Amino acid sequence: MFYLFPRIVKPDMCEEIIKDCMSRNLETAKVLSQDNSSIRDDPNIRKTSIYFVPTDRNNQANEIAWHFLKKANKEMFHYDLTYFQQTQFSVYKDGGHYDWHTDSYHQDEPNKTRKLSLSLVLSNPDNFEGGKLEFYNGGRPWEEKGDTTGEQIKIDLESQGTVVVFDSRDHHRVTPVTKGVRHSIVCWATGASFR
């Protein structure tokens, strides 16, 4: 289940966010263990460079992400949300990808979890190939390799400035970038754990 805002962020704003974030110190993205006990670098699962945007009210990336998380929640999800996490700027190049995963996990605070996730592709589609956001409908793809009951749902985020908001429990991935560079921002909204 996802909420799509096609081409909602203007290309000049996307380019401005890319320029600002690329001028910062990017780091190699890590992955969280399935039991949430450790963080590690694992390019077989995730090959991405990232930068966490400070939670400054004057920052366009945060304002855009938080606005569309609120709007999608009001119109579709109706989740009890407590706060928004920092927006993460991501750079995928040279086979950059993020294998099947969910964003939902328990926070350091008891009884809190990520509830909604947002993804916005900032790059012009002429500047990269691959890098598709896909959802998996059915099964658990990393445990059931032979499962044929589920299907992959591909979201057309080829259009620069398209925003998608989805339930953080949904299995999803970004396929490898085969040419050029894909820039995006992602963000999460947190609330009381689902009962």
Distance CA 101, CA 169 (A): 9
The amino acid sitting at 91 is V
pTM of the model: 0.88
CA distance from start to end of the chain? 19
CA distances from 118 to 22, 26, 65, 146, 194 (A): 20, 20, 7, 29, 19
pLDDT confidence of residue 142: 47
Residue carrying structure tokens 């990808």: 97
Measured at the alpha carbon of residue 163, what is the angle toward residues 167 and 14, in degrees to the nearest 5? 140
Residues in the chain, pLDDT under 70: 34-36, 57, 106-109, 138-158
Please name every residue paired with 167 in a beta bridge, in sequence order, or none if there are none: 116
- DSSP assignment, residue 106? B
